[in-house]
Structure 1
Amino acid sequence: MTASFDRLPDAVTEIFGEDATAEQAYDLLTVDVPPAAWITALETARSALGCTYFDWLSAVDEPGTGFRVCAHVAALPSAGSGVRRLLLRTTVPHEAPSLPTATGVYAGAAWHERETHEMFGVAFEDHPNLVPLLLPENFEGHPLRKDFVLAARVAKAWPGAKEPGESDHGGPKRRTMLPPGVPDPNEWGPLKGQLPAAPARPARRTRTAGEATPGTAAETPAPRPRRSRSASQGSASQRATGTPPAADAPWRDAPDTRPPARPDNPTPDNGGDPE
């Protein structure tokens, strides 16, 4: 069994038939066979390669090609070897997708075939109980097909531009922004140098001190600090007698423009009443 695995994928036609093809990538051996050889390939995997463990079975909708049914099986570890994984695939047309059931080879494929029948519409002939497994009984259609219409799109139209090729309004496409830390795919990665250059952002000019912000009114000069009444005018007795303020006062250089006080002209300091 181990020797047979080691001969693959070169000996795929010798083991699985003339129309079989195989490739190996990431420690997974993948074998493609025609639909007529589907059950024979499963039996070969179980008997000749020792893949007694059935993992899962599902399908993929390939537009323009058909439904690609996949079965993943494995050979359990034995002396001198680890787990050997095998992916068997076959393709059935969209018009009449049908395959013989694999339950006679792997009993665990029964539920997987029921789910694949629900989601993709692939019929598995001679299945013992091909009834709905996950969907309601009155559900119409197969939701994992590419041509299945989403109910959300019917009930409420998608706002603005949709996926590429789905928008008819011809409006401008919103500019895509890369989050911080994500490199430009045209500068790093498998598509380096193959994508059109991204639009450059306008350079940001640094404003100098005192320059007004664009779009706002010009900055006004800061208001001058207000001097207190007692500091700028002196006390009432000083104004009445003409005594200058102290030499160390901050207002000593400020001229006094108020008229001299008269006995019959009360000052504001006494509340407007003559003493």
Structure 2
Amino acid sequence: MHRFYVATEQLADETVTLCPRETHHALHVLRVRSSEQVELLDGMGQVALAEVIGTGRREVRLRVRQRRRHARPRGRLTLVVGLVKGGAFEQILEKATELGVARVQPVFTARTVVHIRPAEMEARLEKWRWVTVDALKQCGGPWLPEIGRPMPLRLWLEQRPAFDLEMYGALGRVGATLRHRLLRYRAAHQERPPETVAAYVGPEGDFSPEECAALEAAGVEPVGLGPRVLRSETAALVFAAIVRSEFDEDEGGC
């Protein structure tokens, strides 16, 4: 069944008209037809079954037949990612969406090579949002990750909310692997996993020694992600997959 993204306020109505971007995809890529059943997602926990009731050259209208609301998952993972170049950050956003990450916070670091001019910021954030929308439509999840406005790592550490557990991927010899640190948390909390986790991933070239010191001074623990040197997008995927598996096990997921 095809899926389309709609704004939350639209799902309050019995009939919905797709936005221009989704209309183009529906008409010219998927070629939907009247009476076809589709699924509508708002990225805020609502999923609706709808029927196509009319198509035009630039319009697709649907009638909502059934709505379901999904509670926000209890376990929430924030990926704090040093901005990386090319399509790597978009790949992180895509996989984070598929894996149910709650927030992706891009940060500027000493070794960040990506520069975003202030005049480009809104367009870049909008592009990133649609990357997550397309990933959500593909995987059928009910919640979009929040994408934070890029900021220096130092500023994020000063302003960040409280987390049950914060870790960063460290190269070389470290005291614990990611899996061992999660097990240690469970052992100290009656076998409950942390409900809020922040995982920090460096950019190309990793965090600088000064940044690693600042992370640890702020209470962010170094953990190992295996014996190989991982690309940033791979490290983010490892964090997301392993931490989400902890949440899913606690919430009864398969």
Q: Under a length normalisation based on structure 1, what TM-score does the superposition of the two structures give?
A: 0.20
**Bigger radius of gyration, 1 or 2?**
1
Q: Which has the higher contact order (CA 8 A, sep 6+)?
A: 2
Higher helix share: 2
With structure 2 as the length reference, what TM-score do the two structures score? 0.21
More strand by share: 2
